């Protein structure tokens, strides 16, 4: 899976330009994977940066700080517009928190573009971070190595949200139309398949 779909996407007549929300977090690791796949990338820090991007990656980081920076740079509406135009979005860890409809146990605001409820730091502190192999049918039979760092937990999802992977019975990878949300860090897995699949959606 992945490579053939990616090649199909790259062979389309329209340009692929992946935006990386570049306020904090390991957006550079996402960028390295996308460059490895032959994808042109752009660091996004203001609404104009996002205008002609075909895809958007919202990386991990510290979600409350991330949200303050998004609001300060007045980019919230541009991200929502990107989603409304059904352009693909990949949101990982804190990025997932930022786009979900609600954050339990916290009054934190969000962009509310993914019909899911999440809990911040649900597995504990940094010392409770872990790695495990995940079965993700959309990526083929080979397990995908999940890296969970102060990961959120998906508490509930809307009826149109597809659950793509579980860990201990809890969703860790979900999709609603053009939006993919992961509680783990695929950019740290050494495996390009999830990014290949993400690009193929556009």
Q: What residue segments make up the domains of the chain, in order of their start?
A: 3-200
Token duo for residue 15:
């340009």
The sheet carrying 55-58 orders its strands as 40-44, 17-21, 55-58, 89-92, 179-182, 170-176, 162-167
Threshold 0.75, pTM exceeds:
yes
- pLDDT mean over 8-30: 84
Q: Is 24 exposed, middle or buried (0-12, 13-18, 19+ CB in 10 A)?
A: middle
Cβ neighbours of 13 (radius 10 Å)? 4
Q: Which CATH architecture has domain 3-200?
A: 3-Layer(aba) Sandwich (3.40)
Q: What mean pLDDT do residues 37-63 have?
A: 96
Q: Kindly indicate the confidence band of residue 9, based on its pLDDT and cuts at 50, 70 and 90.
A: low
Pick from 4-13, 73-82, 181-190: least confident: 4-13
Tokens of 101: 């409809």
Active-site residue among 93, 167, 195, 196?
93
Instruction: Give 24's pLDDT tier (boundaries 50, 70, 90).
Output: confident
Sign of CA dihedral 80, 176, 145, 190: negative
**Cα 28 to Cα 182: distance, rounded to the nearest angstrom:** 17
- The active-site residue out of 30, 82, 187, 195 is 187
- The answer to whether residue 53 is catalytic is no
On average, the pLDDT of the chain sits at 91
Residue 187 annotated in active site: yes
Which residue among 176, 185, 195, 196 is the active-site one? 185
Instruction: Give which of 187, 180, 144 is closest to 162, Cα–Cα.
Output: 180
Q: Is residue 1 predicted with pLDDT exceeding 80?
A: no
The 10 Å Cβ neighbour count of residue 69 is 17
pLDDT of 13 over the 60 cut:
no
Higher pLDDT, 10 or 35: 35
Q: What is the pLDDT of residues 89-130, one digit of tens each?
A: 999 999 999 999 999 866 667 899 999 999 987 776 677 789
pLDDT value at residue 180: 99
User: Active site includes 162?
Assistant: no
What pLDDT does 106 receive? 63
């Amino acid at each position: 899976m992945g490579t053939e779909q990616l090649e199909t996407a790259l062979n389309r007549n329209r340009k692929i330009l992946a935006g990386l929300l570049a306020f904090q977090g390991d957006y550079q690791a996402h960028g390295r994977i996308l460059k490895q796949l032959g994808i042109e990338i752009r660091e996004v820090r203001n609404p104009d940066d996002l205008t002609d991007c075909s895809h958007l990656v919202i990386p991990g980081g510290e979600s409350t700080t991330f949200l303050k920076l998004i609001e300060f740079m007045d980019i919230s509406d541009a991200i929502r517009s990107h989603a409304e135009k059904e352009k693909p979005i990949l949101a990982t860890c804190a990025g997932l928190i930022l786009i979900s409809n609600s954050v339990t146990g916290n009054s934190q605001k969000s962009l509310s573009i993914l019909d899911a409820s999440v809990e911040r730091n649900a597995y504990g502190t940094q010392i409770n971070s872990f790695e495990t192999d995940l079965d993700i049918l959309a990526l083929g039979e080979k397990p995908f190595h999940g890296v969970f760092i102060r990961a959120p937990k998906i508490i509930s999802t809307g009826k149109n949200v597809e659950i793509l992977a579980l860990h201990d019975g809890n969703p860790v990878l979900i999709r609603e139309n053009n939006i993919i949300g992961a509680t783990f860090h695929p950019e740290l897995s050494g495996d390009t398949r999830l990014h290949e699949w993400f690009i193929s959606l556009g």
